[in-house]
Structure 1
């Protein structure tokens, strides 16, 4: 009876998952007991190493640019959802006119700021911007992530605290950021640097949340940093090996025991002028010369490099063909399937991260300032609703994709507004442009066909279908 009860208790506490088992196979494997603590400690080293690789490794640089062009492209454009059409058009036009003056440093426009912030989010894990005013207009100033003092951790009492430069109130809501006036380590930085408390509503903090309670962002390169570094070192070793092997190196041996070097000037370990193209060397009797054989890179080495590159692409979330530019082992079906999944990831990040953390706060601040200053009519509450128009995603097969969308619209499975928005366009602006084109064409007596003439193959196929319908 006791043995049966003990056996039953043992069954209840047995770890049946292989991943939770002990034993030799799991001995020495790393664990992450508390993810928030791990993020707190690893944020800085990950960002520094990712910055180096993104600046010096072509594969890492390509992955960064792939995410930036997919998430931002020519820019995510906010469009007003005001119920009054004239006011809505007024808001959209006024915002577009403001975009050129958005950057407080005057280096780019609002859409360029988006690209910079997304690039820093991918590499550093996060990006910051401070919202201010100049000449009664909204201005956005980008700051380095290290200026939000990561070393500032303090209890403020009454359950308030500062964690890595971010201040939280008793309910856990972000209320302020403690920002250094200059980045530590910059030339001519005035020391000591004292952080300034900036209200949270004046700060845009862009990062991808991964766990509840996360305070700062983690570099998107975290899963692949070590693999990229190892691959980079391996490639350097291979290049040096091939370079040395490909150089025509000659070695003279003398059976008499004397060393007779080649003619030339000796500089350290290098012999200058000893061997030149087309040179004929006459050797003394008893002397022999041997040349090195260049090493051959076999197919297995190339396959190893390609597999490693794919692992890195998967870890960064980018299709291998996009990140490496290598299309030698893909076909239409595989690239289409990978791009569909890639676009799902892109859309999730666009709407859940970039639009929510960057586009909406900027629009709310801009719209509020424009209404209160009297430059735009209406109320603040009516001007705040907006939707983000993301850049158009290019199709793998435009003809088939357009036909599928037209069928979906005619079948009531999607609206024309949704289809137009997926192309990064505003339907009202598009309709106005189409109407203006039509009016101009009518005034000039121009007639355009809405459908191209069928090809000979299409005519034959259509005749065959008609004949089949007539004689089933």
Structure 2
């Protein structure tokens, strides 16, 4: 009971008791959550109840610039980008038609392959390369943009009149930020219920040296854009670099490495110091000495003996004790975890790994990759490009109109097995038990199951016609023996 409670109790004991009881209840509520207290341990803990966009607006530009510096000057940053891009995109997420009509599927596939080879408006990359660069820019900078640009039929030739332009998130005009009415937030124009209407884009990269444009940004409709970012909170309109949680510890780990290198170089420099009486002759006086009298020792080199005057020779005895190895490894583990990777993926260190540990780590990593593929990249990029490709192809008469449109499947990069034999046997059992369809089994290896079946049918027909027995024929017993079973032609519905 504090002073005020005692004062109240003096005049009204019942009110004083009620005040003291209420205070105890409030104190108990605060004690239930230690992180909600404001005591000595939490005094330096700063937190704000701001929205996702308010948090992004205050620091995403600085975070983006520092993340790019981290990638440019650190092997860890480059490694994280390479690993994530190679697993999520690989050589490209395939778009495979699945309309139920072989004729329409084949026409779509041929037209799509021709277009993907020349999809880049700059004429540098193919569609798979653009996907990889788009994801890489998003992870590094927080978000990226792909603009769908229609071209003339004459320029398109036999292909579809569509090209893609990849842009970094810097191209979004952040100064377009009408906070009071909320119609534009960080360069993103919003409609009712937060529906995206478009982006304000600069004509050229605002950071391009010597090309600072004074022209205002232009508004581009949402239907013509693919804005790629990973939403972390509801209502978030711009992305934040994936390196944000690890930038500070990563820089400290990099500084630790540099300090350890300097320490080892210093310890390798066995140095001695000569002290002599005032006016005494240095034993090295006869030798050329470019050092000035009274100059300070600022650098120790191997085999150096430094004359500092007055008395005897003293040899340096550097300490060999260091906790660098443990601290550096722990720091790399934290960086890997913050980036969503395993330690061995970040460092390539497999000295402490075995089959069980590798498999357990990769299962968790694959979940993250699948979530990024199907929850972010496919809906934000692949499906929008697929719809625009179909619209322009049908309008130009290169694909026949279909009542149900052209349904497509997306085939992800193959997941390399840790133990191919064990993993393949497990997948076969999953198919035979009904847990996985044959189509899913083949697609999991990054292949179009229709092409695989067609190739098998062509192979079997040629082998049977020429009576060539091969041990790779899956219709025969493993490693020879038995008679060949008749090849069953792979049929298909030629029309709807």
Q: TM-score per shorter chain, which class?
A: 0.7 to 0.9
Deviations 1:170-207 (A, max 9, x none): 33211111111112231231431310111111111101
Q: 1:256 and 1:267 mapped to 2: Cα distance?
A: 18
- The aligned residue for residue 430 of structure 2 is 408
User: Which runs of 5 or more residues in structure 2 are unaligned?
Assistant: 1-13, 481-496
Q: 1:251 aligns with which of 251, 264, 273?
A: 273
Query: Per the alignment, do residues 267 and 62 of structure 1 end up closer, same or farther by CA in structure 2, a change over 3 Å counting?
Result: farther
Change in Cα spacing, 1:76 to 1:288, as seen in structure 2 (3 Å) is same
Contact 1:245–1:292 (8 Å) recurs in 2: no
Compared CA separation, residues 258 and 389, structure 1 to 2 (3 A) = farther
Could you tell me how far 1:256 is from its partner in structure 2?
Answer: 5.3
Q: Which of 58, 64, 84 is the equivalent residue of 1:41?
A: 58
What is the deviation of 1:84?
Answer: 1.9
Distance 2:98 2:291 in 1: 74
* CA pair 362-432 structure 1, distance change in 2 beyond 3 A: same
Answer yes or no: is 1:128 the counterpart of 2:128: no
Greater alpha carbon shift after TM alignment, 261-270 vs 129-138: 261-270
Question: Which residue is equivalent to 1:462?
Answer: none
Q: Is the 8 A contact 2:270 2:302 kept in 1?
A: no
Cα contact 2:256–2:328 (8 A) shared by 1: no
* Paired position in structure 2 for 1:114: 131
Q: For 2:346 and 2:317, how far apart are their aligned partners in 1? A: 35
Which residue does the alignment assign to 1:422? Answer: 444
Say if 2:419 is the partner of 1:397: yes
Aligned partner of 1:154 in structure 2 is 178
Taking the aligned partners of 1:74 and 1:181, their CA distance within structure 2 comes to 30
TM-score (normalised: structure 2): 0.82
**Residue 430 to residue 5, structure 1, CA distance change in 2 (3 Å):** farther
Go from structure 1 to structure 2 and tell me whether the alpha carbon gap of 1:333 and 1:374 turns closer, same or farther (over 3 Å shift): same
CA contact (8 A) 2:89 2:132 kept: yes
For residues 172-321 of structure 1, the aligned pairs below 5 Å read: 172-255=194-277, 257-258=279-280, 260=282, 263=287, 266=290, 289-293=313-317, 295-296=319-320, 298=322, 300-321=323-344
Where does residue 463 of structure 1 map in the other structure?
none
Residue aligning to 1:363:
386
Describe the superposition over 1:349-400 as per-residue Cα deviations: whole angstroms up to 9, x where unpaired.
11001111111111111111111111122338512x3221100001111111
Contact 1:167–1:177, Cα closer than 8 Å, also in 2: yes
Q: Is the 8 A contact 2:204 2:213 kept in 1?
A: no
Q: What is the CA–CA distance in structure 2 between the aligned matches of 1:4 and 1:276, rounded to whole Å?
A: 78
1:378–1:302: structure 2 CA closer, same or farther, 3 Å change rule?
same
Structure-1 separation of matches of 2:288 and 2:82:
48
Cα distance change of structure 1 residues 248 and 179 upon mapping to structure 2, 3 Å threshold: same
- Check 1:393–1:32 CA distance in 2 against 1; reply closer, same or farther (3 A cut): farther
Larger C-alpha radius of gyration, 1 or 2?
2
Which position in structure 1 is the counterpart of 2:489? none
The whole-number CA distance in structure 1 between the counterparts of 2:440 and 2:364 is 20
Q: Of 356, 363, 367, which aligns to 1:344?
A: 367
Q: Which residue of 1 aligns with 2:120?
A: 103
Number of aligned residues: 443
Do structure 1's residue 56 and structure 2's residue 79 form an aligned pair? no
What is the DSSP-based 3-state SS (H/G/I as helix, E as strand, rest coil) of the residue aligned with 1:303? Answer: helix
Structure 2 counterpart of 1:7: 21
Cα offset, 1:59, TM superposition = 1.4
Note the C-alpha offset of 1:133.
2.1
Q: 5+ residue gaps in structure 1?
A: 455-472
2:444 and 2:51 mapped to 1: Cα distance?
37
Q: SS at 1:214's partner residue?
A: coil
Q: Which residue of 1 aligns with 2:167?
A: 143
* Aligned counterparts of 1:185 and 1:225: Cα–Cα separation in 2: 22
Aligned equivalents of 2:211, 2:446: Cα separation in 1? 42
The 2-side partners of 1:354 and 1:310 are apart by: 27
Cross-structure match for 2:187: 165
Secondary structure class of the residue paired with 2:405: helix
The match for 1:459 is: none
1:72 to 77, 84, 89: 89
The answer to whether the Cα contact below 8 Å between 1:242 and 1:294 also exists between their aligned partners in 2 is no
